[in-house]
């Protein structure tokens, strides 16, 4: 039980780097090879590409739908306890969350089929960490206020405790096929190698204190709670031993699990791009439809049952000489019998957080005087330069949906994309989601010969005071690209 509680507190207090998974700037930014990872059916025109190992795709984000660092620690003359009461306990709900996602691309390669030039194949490996912790409102109130006073008779919902996290290495292979000048489709198979996983997502129960009959108060608890962990105990045991080889042991275990030595799973991505007319394109994709079967290094913790207690009943003065530690132990034993805590090593299946993207784009602004034929290339794509001279501008909207433990998490984005010459592309976005209503992002893609560099930054207005920001994001990478006539 102590290990389970310690894990929860490590997660909770370690959430100073928080983020969400929407990559609205990268989605449909066709000039960047990594856009293929968000839509396997994106339109492609390159002959091949190779990502610079480790540096081809780095994504770091931060966000919270609830309280910010500035809300609690700003020097504004307000007492800290008052801030906690007004800005956390009173303002945040059980739907608020702290979520964290980061991604590092190990390697990424793509090439066009020699015998099937309409097919573009890609493969690679990347590591991803995803953690989400929902605000346990009732449990926080119970810890802050206690179960006395105005809380007598109140039922505290134990189901407010909900968290999930994992670190996984992903090996992938995808095929992108141009069906016609109007339609491009794609799919990607994924093999997951889990480093660790934990979840406590289907909790239920309540805690209530009310007036008693034989004593002043009676406390009742009904619980059906579970914390499942896979791969956590191995790391915990190494750290707990704290020997001279701790660092080497941790590195060895981490490497083993990254290279298919952990719990394994399967998944897939799919997507398409379709031209409604030469200037209007719709796209959609679904990512990470998959699962991991956790059977190794399992440690689960359960608390199921119900119990009521009025404490120790003592009749004075006749029982004054019988008050001893045995009475307390008997009380503890009775509670543990009615509300047993157990540990087990049963395997379980964890589902990947499914993500769905969709967009509609309108292209305009003829760039080089050529006829506006429906070439089937990507936005701003052109033979020899990789970017189209047909339309220099794009405007449209994007929708993002993500499956989370407490429902679907949506985001809506409007964007404008501009091509400046053959070497520079810019994309700006405005996104509304649960983290921010003022998220303005800017992306830059630079093509210097075969060298491709991109940098994408979200919620730029927040950089005036990062401590008061609900969301911040940065993505960048380097690739080598060869175009079709190179």
Distance CA 72, CA 54 (A): 36
User: What is the number of other CB atoms lying within 10 angstroms of the CB of residue 13?
Assistant: 8
Q: Are 425 and 382 in contact (CB under 8 A)?
A: no
Q: Could you give all domains of the chain from N- to C-terminal order, each with its CATH number? A: 2-483 (2.40.160.40)
Count of CA atoms in the C-beta half-sphere (13 A) of 486: 17
Burial category of 158 from C-beta neighbours within 10 Å (exposed 0-12, middle 13-18, buried 19 and up)? buried
- Alpha-carbon distance of 173 to 178, in angstroms, equals 17
Q: Distance from first CA to last CA of the chain, Å, rounded?
A: 62
Closest CA relative to residue 163, chosen from 198, 137, 133: 133
Distances (CA, A) of 274 to 44, 188, 352, 379, 417: 13, 18, 27, 12, 19
Angle at 225 between CA 223 and CA 229, to 5 degrees: 165
Question: Which pair of structure tokens corresponds to residue 475?
Answer: 């993505």
Tell me if residue 45 falls in helix, strand or coil.
Answer: coil
Handedness of CA 52, 53, 55, 57 (dihedral sign): positive
**Total-model pTM:** 0.84
- Cα angle 474, 475, 481; round to 5: 155
| β strands within 310-406, DSSP E | 341-344, 348-351, 355-366, 391-404
pLDDT tens, N- to C-terminus, the chain (486 residues): 444 444 443 343 333 333 447 899 999 999 999 999 999 999 998 899 999 988 888 886 665 666 666 666 666 778 778 777 877 787 788 888 887 788 899 999 999 988 889 999 999 999 999 888 888 888 888 888 887 778 888 888 989 999 999 999 999 999 999 999 999 999 999 999 999 999 999 899 888 888 867 677 788 888 899 999 999 999 988 888 878 888 898 999 999 999 999 899 999 999 999 999 999 999 999 999 999 999 999 999 998 888 777 654 544 444 445 555 554 555 566 566 667 888 999 999 999 999 999 999 999 987 654 433 444 343 334 433 344 446 899 999 999 999 988 889 899 999 999 998 778 999 999 999 888 788 899 999 999 989 999 999 888 877 666 655 666 677 889 999 987 554
Report H helices in 403-443. none
């Amino acid at each position: 039980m102590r290990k389970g509680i310690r894990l929860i507190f490590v997660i909770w207090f370690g959430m100073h780097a928080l983020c969400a998974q929407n990559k609205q700037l990268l989605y449909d930014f066709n000039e960047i090879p990594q856009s293929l990872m968000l839509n396997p059916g994106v339109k492609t025109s390159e002959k091949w590409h190779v990502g610079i190992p480790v540096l081809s795709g780095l994504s770091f984000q931060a966000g919270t739908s609830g309280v910010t660092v500035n809300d609690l620690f700003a020097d504004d003359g307000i007492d800290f306890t008052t801030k906690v009461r007004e800005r956390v306990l009173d303002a945040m709900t059980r739907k608020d969350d702290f979520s964290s996602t980061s991604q590092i691309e190990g390697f990424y390669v793509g090439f066009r089929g020699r015998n099937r030039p309409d097919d573009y194949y890609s493969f690679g490996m990347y590591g991803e960490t995803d953690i989400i912790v929902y605000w346990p409102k009732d449990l926080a109130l119970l810890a802050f206020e206690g179960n006395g006073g105005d809380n007598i008779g109140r039922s505290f919902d134990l189901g407010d405790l909900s968290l999930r996290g994992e670190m996984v290495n992903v090996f992938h292979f995808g095929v992108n096929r141009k069906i016609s000048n109007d339609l491009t489709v794609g799919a990607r198979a994924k093999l997951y190698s889990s480093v660790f996983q934990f979840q406590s997502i289907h909790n239920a129960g309540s805690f209530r204190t009310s007036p008693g009959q034989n004593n002043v108060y009676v406390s009742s608890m009904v619980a059906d709670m579970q914390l499942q962990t896979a791969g956590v105990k191995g790391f915990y045991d190494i750290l707990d031993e704290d020997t001279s080889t701790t660092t080497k042991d941790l590195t060895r275990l981490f490497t083993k699990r990254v290279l298919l030595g952990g719990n394994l799973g399967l998944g897939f991505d799919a997507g398409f791009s379709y031209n409604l007319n030469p200037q209007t394109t719709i796209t959609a994709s679904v990512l990470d439809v998959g699962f991991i079967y956790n059977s190794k290094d399992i440690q689960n913790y359960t608390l199921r049952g119900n119990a009521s207690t009025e404490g120790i009943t003592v009749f004075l003065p006749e029982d004054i000489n019988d008050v001893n530690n045995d009475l307390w132990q008997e009380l503890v034993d009775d509670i543990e019998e009615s509300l047993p805590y157990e540990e087990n090593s049963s395997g379980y299946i964890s589902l990947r957080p499914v993500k769905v993207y969709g967009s509609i784009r309108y292209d305009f602004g003829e760039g080089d005087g050529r006829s506006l034929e429906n070439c089937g290339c990507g936005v701003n794509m052109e033979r020899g330069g990789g970017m189209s001279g047909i339309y220099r501008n794009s405007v449209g909207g994007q929708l993002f949906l993500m499956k989370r433990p407490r429902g679907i998490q949506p985001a809506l984005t409007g964007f404008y994309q501009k091509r400046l010459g053959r070497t520079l592309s810019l994309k700006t976005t405005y996104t509304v989601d649960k983290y921010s209503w003022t998220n303005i992002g800017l992306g830059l893609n630079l093509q210097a010969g075969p060298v491709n560099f991109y940098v994408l930054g979200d919620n730029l207005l927040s950089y005036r005071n990062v401590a008061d920001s609900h969301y911040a994001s940065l993505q960048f990478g380097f690739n080598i690209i060869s175009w079709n006539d190179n």
